[in-house]
Amino acid sequence: MIALSLAEIAEILQGELRPSGAHSPDTVIDGTVDTDSREMTAGSIFVAKPGESTDGHRFVGAAAAAGAVLAIVEHTVDAEISQIVVADAVAALADLAREVVARVRAGGRLKIVGITGSNGKTTTKNFLARILSDEGETVAPVRSYNNEVGAPLTMLRVTDSTQYLVSEFGAAGAGSIAHLAGLVNPDVSVVLMVGLAHAGGFGGIEATARAKSELVTAARSDGTAVLNTDDPRVWAMREIAQERGMSVAGFGQNSDATVRAEDLDVSASGTKCTVIVGGERMPLHLRVLGAHHVSNALAAIAAAGVLGVSAPAAIQRLESVEIAERWRMQPMGDDRVRIINDAYNASPDSMAAALRTLAQITGPGERTVAVLGAMSELGETAGEEHDRIGLLAVRLNIQRIVVVGPEARRLYLAAVGEGSWDSEAVHLPDQDAAFEYLKTELREGDRVLVKSSNSAGLRHLGDRLGELFS
């Protein structure tokens, strides 16, 4: 974080400063900011966030012992550390992020990119951060820090020397992206796709589209919207951008795209395609598994282009990326049994894309095995969408379908109903039972996809299988 005095921070937060020890209102601090006391280092700021299962105020003492010098609290705590008492710690975190970013931006150097979409946010964020990091100091979220806590924490990592801030925005409901993006008003707004991920919490896909469009509305009026031309709901957002006087750049595989891809060739070594920008044709070999990641790469190339990075330079840097993120199409195991651990998140769109990738990268004499868990947050569409994935797995000729957990049982029943029987499809109660089954079922030449929503926990099953066959 940039250097601020305790008095300045208290004023920004409209809180009551209670200095401790040798501290005075003029004491200046510039340490990291976090809500996790285990992440404290010397000079850090600890935000005591109340939670559903625990309360951050219980860990103020531990934060101080780990090196924190300031705690932002909702009530005073008996601990030897300076404290600023605020009405709402999460709101205070957002207020501090807004002010810090505004001060750095006032220096004229900082450019901000916001990314949202039902799928692909984290991959695109990582792709773009890789491209921009060779241009200058770049701050991007760790893991999927895209909510009301994670997004401000990422923003607070900027310093006076930061040139690029890449922010990822998830949507907890209507207005949440508007709030988070409104903290920084991005120069570049990237909208990837509108799908059924979390649609249950929004009331349907059209409501999801409106929520994603909040990123375009929150951008600077002299900024640029980078939009997916292959998704009609996203491409329609260009009208919002144009009404606000923004520029528009499209990415995709159709002729409307500013950054376009042709001739996709998917294999176990990644995806090859031709990228077309301004009439120039350039080969791209994306090592991250799955044709669906080509769209994320195009988005990153387009956003980087808005910021002045040439397409050849962006492509060269993308080709060095081996995995998008841990638990996202992550290759594990070895050539005997290859595990693809993609169980950090799942939606109908990403589940279908992962299954198609499994089918595409499995060669003659090899066997496809899909280990599938539940997709969460689909609301009233959950049953129907699990049915569709079960049908798709059979129609893609996935040779072994291993369904894990009671919430995914409809997926199994749909696969059986479509013709996957005689042990081609099995249903197991939990990941331990699945691990014991797969230890004896998997054989040399198997290509295994492990896919589920985070809540199903199959990412840990994927790790166990990867270790077993490495």
Residue 135: the pLDDT is: 98
- Which 3-state string (H, E, C) describes 159-227? CCCCCEEEEECCCCCCCHHHHHHHCCCCCEEEECCCCCCCHHHHCCHHHHHHHHHHHHHHCCCCCEEEE
Coil, helix or strand for 443?
coil
Question: With bands split at pLDDT 50, 70 and 90, how would you rate the model's confidence at 197?
Answer: low
- Whether 324 maps to a domain, the answer reads no
Instruction: Give me the helices (H) in 18-78, please.
Output: 60-65
Residue where one domain finishes, among candidates 318, 351, 385:
318
Distance from C-alpha of 150 to C-alpha of 93, rounded to nearest angstrom: 10
Radius of gyration of the chain (CA): 24
Mean pLDDT of 219-237: 97
pLDDT digits (tens, 9 = 90+) for 95-105: 999 999 999 99
- What DSSP string describes 415-441? HHHHT--TTSEEEESSHHHHHHHHHHH
Whether 338 and 291 share a structural domain: no
Whether 222 and 300 share a structural domain: yes
Domain CATH code at residue 348: 3.90.190.20
- The identity of residue 138, as a single letter, is T
| pLDDT of residue 220 exceeding 60 | yes
User: What percent of the chain has a predicted confidence (pLDDT) above 70?
Assistant: 98
Q: How many CB atoms lie within 10 A of CB 366?
A: 15
Whether 83 and 110 share a structural domain: no
Whether 307 and 357 share a structural domain: no
pLDDT digits (tens, 9 = 90+) for 383-400: 999 999 999 999 999 999
Whether 267 and 250 share a structural domain: yes
- Whether 323 maps to a domain, the answer reads no
**From residue 353, how far is each of 39, 159, 301, 396, 441 by CA, in Å?**
35, 38, 21, 11, 25
Mean pLDDT of 5-22: 97
Whether 338 and 229 share a structural domain: no
Mean pLDDT of the chain: 94
- Whether 325 maps to a domain, the answer reads no
Question: With bands split at pLDDT 50, 70 and 90, how would you rate the model's confidence at 225?
Answer: very high
| pLDDT of residue 199 exceeding 80 | no
pLDDT digits (tens, 9 = 90+) for 293-324: 999 999 999 999 999 999 999 999 999 998 87
**Torsion angle of C-alpha atoms 146, 97, 220, 103, degrees rounded to 10:** -150
Distance from C-alpha of 51 to C-alpha of 191, rounded to nearest angstrom: 30
**Which DSSP category does 60 fall into?**
H
Residue 203: the pLDDT is: 63
Give me the number of domains the chain comprises.
3
Residues 6+ apart with CB under 8 A from 429: 404, 405, 406
Whether 126 and 49 share a structural domain: no
**From residue 61, how far is each of 28, 36, 49, 81 by CA, in Å?**
21, 12, 14, 8
Mean pLDDT of 209-221: 96
- Whether 142 maps to a domain, the answer reads yes
Mean pLDDT of 219-227: 97
With beta carbons less than 8 A apart as the criterion, state whether 381 and 199 touch. yes
Whether 81 and 107 share a structural domain: no
**Torsion angle of C-alpha atoms 169, 172, 173, 178, degrees rounded to 10:** -30
Whether 150 and 36 share a structural domain: no
Coil, helix or strand for 319?
coil
Domain CATH code at residue 292: 3.40.1190.10
Question: With bands split at pLDDT 50, 70 and 90, how would you rate the model's confidence at 119?
Answer: confident
388, with CB counted inside 10 A (0-12, 13-18, 19+), is middle
Residue where one domain finishes, among candidates 56, 87, 118:
87
Question: With bands split at pLDDT 50, 70 and 90, how would you rate the model's confidence at 166?
Answer: very high
- Whether 30 maps to a domain, the answer reads yes
Domain CATH code at residue 15: 3.40.1390.10
Residue (of 32, 46, 22) closest to 1 by Cα position: 32
Q: Which residue carries 């920008």 as its tokens?
A: 277
Question: With bands split at pLDDT 50, 70 and 90, how would you rate the model's confidence at 195?
Answer: confident
- Whether 350 maps to a domain, the answer reads yes
User: What percent of the chain has a predicted confidence (pLDDT) above 90?
Assistant: 83
Whether 81 and 203 share a structural domain: no
Residue 201: the pLDDT is: 55
Question: With bands split at pLDDT 50, 70 and 90, how would you rate the model's confidence at 202?
Answer: low
Whether 108 and 235 share a structural domain: yes
| pLDDT of residue 437 exceeding 70 | yes
* Largest Cα–Cα separation, the chain: 74
Question: With bands split at pLDDT 50, 70 and 90, how would you rate the model's confidence at 198?
Answer: low
Residue where one domain finishes, among candidates 267, 286, 318:
318
Residue 43: the pLDDT is: 97
232, with CB counted inside 10 A (0-12, 13-18, 19+), is exposed
Residue 309, H or E segment:
none
- Whether 167 maps to a domain, the answer reads yes
Instruction: For CA atoms 20, 26, 28, 29, give the dihedral sign.
Output: positive
Mean pLDDT of 413-438: 92
With beta carbons less than 8 A apart as the criterion, state whether 440 and 360 touch. no
Which tops the pLDDT comparison, 268 or 158?
158
Residue 394: domain span = 330-468
Whether 152 and 301 share a structural domain: yes
Residues 6+ apart with CB under 8 A from 136: 163, 164
Sheet holding 188-191, edge to edge: 138-139, 164-168, 111-116, 188-191, 224-228, 247-252, 259-267, 270-277, 280-286
- Whether 8 maps to a domain, the answer reads yes
